[in-house]
Amino acid sequence: MAAPSPVRPHTTRALRDVVFVDGIRTPFGKAGPRGLYAETRADDLIVRVIRELLRRHPELPPHRVDEVAIAATTQIGDQGLTIGRTAALLAGLPNTVPGFAIDRMCAGAMTAVTTVGSGIAFGAYDVAIAGGVEHMGRHPMGEGVDPNPRFLSERIVDASAMVMGQTAENLHDRYPGITKQRADTFAAASQAKYAKALAEGRIDADLVSVATRSAERGYGLATADEPPRPGTSVEDLAALKTPFRSHGRITAGNAAGLNDGATGCILAAEDVAEELGLPRAMRLVGYGFVGVEPEVMGVGPVPSTEKALRNTGLSIEDIGLFELNEAFAVQVLAFLDHFGIDADDPRVNPWGGAIAVGHPLASSGVRLMTQLARHFAERPDVRYGITAMCIGIGMGGTVIWENPAYDGGRQ
């Protein structure tokens, strides 16, 4: 009888600190035949982002990128074919750099970040690129999907769970104190904050221009976000139709639109960032994802934030900045009410949010992170911030970040 193979001793390893180096995005466009990117490929959007990240950071040798994780909710057509790998090749990264696609609906890019971030902490990667792309004009949410009929026949979910606008109406039902007036007021404020940040030149650093073409209009250059409606008033919003329910509360004005766009960021082990001379904009502290009732998916960021806080030993009072995805005003207000935060608290979405700038589904998580990183650079008195979002089919996601520039609270 052969002797048993010797047991390999377990190799212990310390987790490494993970930093967010930099993030950028394309201008966001309106989905549809008249939108900025109506005749632009989805993969070309994310390729442009990756190339710009590498251009902005020549101190990062391309061969040092260990992984490319790109999210898309609708992984079909020019958003399919393992887009993380194909985008890496199209962007000019060496063919030795692997890549993969990821899907967690609205939190796709957020999950790309936490996935490769965990790999960096574990030691599997030193440097990675993470991001997301969504071309909702070419690929409407749900394109090609075939939901199992048991979802409805066995009443696993209510039929409203399959329509995000209806889930937002359900959330209004659950929290009757969140009126349409409150939602419209929050939405108008988002537009105003974005317009102010744009006028002050705060948005431009996030953006990379994108060449566009139109058979009708010719070639162009996308340099600014298309969705914002500056000057929007509560009175304007009050007059809008409620398409998801007669006499409802959800309108095109107090919800994010249907949009096209891409985002990306560089993540690295902190010691590797120091070695290469890469900036450290944020340090990853922890994260949490949870499931909730699909019929009220907008409540997801509440328990995901509680989980992330619990995992990291922090409390909501420790958080000095909030970047919350504004899929619908009601879901942000539900989060704020739960944690006792005023809707006009200056810590919340200081430059506005998705109601103004748009929400190209899987790409939005990195937009939140990039803006939080910009806030940190301006606010050394703030130590911790969070990025959080609700997720379709009943989930929530929250990532907690630390400001490397924190100066102990000195103003």
Give the residue numbers marked as catalytic.
Answer: 106, 359, 390
Record the tokens describing residue 211, joined without a space. Answer: 């060449």
Query: Quick one: which of 371, 362, 364, 375 has its CA closest to 403?
Result: 375
**Are residues 212 and 37 in contact, defined by beta-carbon separation less than 8 angstroms?**
yes
Residue whose pair of structure tokens reads 């009175």 in the numeric block:
235
Rounded to 5°, angle at Cα 54 from 260 and 72: 30
For the chain, give percent helix, strand, coil, nearest 5.
Answer: 35, 20, 40
Q: What distance in Å separates the CA atoms of residue 353 and residue 189, rounded to the nearest whole number?
A: 10
Q: Identify the helix (H) or strand (E) that includes residue 367.
A: helix 364-378
Record the tokens describing residue 238, joined without a space. Answer: 């009050």
Q: What distance in Å separates the CA atoms of residue 284 and residue 261, rounded to the nearest whole number?
A: 25
Coil, strand, or helix at residue 4?
coil
Contacts of 299 (CB under 8 A, 6+ apart): 171, 174, 292, 293, 331, 334, 390, 396
Backbone angles phi, psi at 210, to 5 degrees: -130, 130
Q: What distance in Å separates the CA atoms of residue 98 and residue 81, rounded to the nearest whole number?
A: 13
Torsion region of 52: left, alpha or beta (phi above 0 gives left; psi -120 to 50 gives alpha): alpha
